[in-house]
Structure 1
Amino acid sequence: MGTAREWWAVRRQDMSMAPLNTNTSNTIAQHRAKQYSHEGVKAGVKAATIAFIASAIPVLMGARAIPWARANLNYAAQAHIISLVSGAAFFVVADKTILASARKNSFEKLAIHVEFPL
């Protein structure tokens, strides 16, 4: 193999010729994983929107009312603070939602396969 382009071309061809997986339990697991990640993204977007509003108002008002903030926080700094808060809220909530869904699914599978004595 001479170049990286040739290597990627062969790699792409190998991946496209891979046999399709017909295992139903694997496809169900993939479907659930996709569903859980979609739920996590929806919850993360909601949290990021709320965090955006909750952080934008104090930052923008503080940058106009507080003398130190007026002198030291330019528009880029204000936008950076707001976007960091929104991004952090998105990733924390999305991660927690996905993990909670996976944990719930795991416990449901355990309850199906194991009978607990009373």
Structure 2
Amino acid sequence: MSSTASYAEKLALAKQRSHEGVVAGAKAAAVATVASAIPTMISVRTLPWARANLNPVAQAVIVSTAAGLAYFIVGEKTVVASARRSSFGNSPA
């Protein structure tokens, strides 16, 4: 029975760590969206090259790519960091 309880504890811990990664990734994506949208919009309005070559689809791709990358990178780093903390905490001295 202890292996079942241990498995349930590990599963609950994994779900918690995964949720932490999702929350951290969502926060990073929100920041990256703003951080990439503002310069993109300013450059499209002021630079002749950007005005001529970056249509609305290209602008959306730039912003969504930055947000997506931030989400996955920060989420993965958060999950890996928490896994390291829990594995070092459970290792014998």
If the TM-score is normalised by the length of the shorter chain, which range does it land in?
over 0.9
Which one has a larger percent helix, Structure 1 or Structure 2? 2
| Aligned with residue 78 of structure 2, among 82, 97, 100 | 97
Report the Cα distance in structure 2 between the residues aligned to 1:49 and 1:92, rounded to whole angstroms: 13
4+ residue stretches of structure 1 with deviation over 3 A? none
State which structure, 1 or 2, has the greater radius of gyration over its C-alpha atoms: 1
State, as a whole percentage, how many aligned pairs show the same letter. Answer: 51
Which has the higher relative contact order, 1 or 2, with Cα contacts under 8 A spaced 6 or more apart? 2
CA RMSD of aligned residues (A): 0.9
SS in 2 for 1:23: helix
Report the Cα distance in structure 2 between the residues aligned to 1:37 and 1:50, rounded to whole angstroms: 20
Specify the code of the residue in structure 2 equivalent to 1:56: A
Report the Cα distance in structure 2 between the residues aligned to 1:108 and 1:88, rounded to whole angstroms: 30
- TM-score where L is the length of structure 2: 0.95
Number of the residue aligned with 1:8: none
Report the Cα distance in structure 2 between the residues aligned to 1:28 and 1:102, rounded to whole angstroms: 14
Unaligned runs of 5+ in 1: 1-21
Number of the residue aligned with 2:10: 29
- TM-score where L is the length of structure 1: 0.75
How many residue pairs align between the two structures?
Answer: 91
Number of the residue aligned with 2:61: 80
Report the Cα distance in structure 2 between the residues aligned to 1:28 and 1:61, rounded to whole angstroms: 50
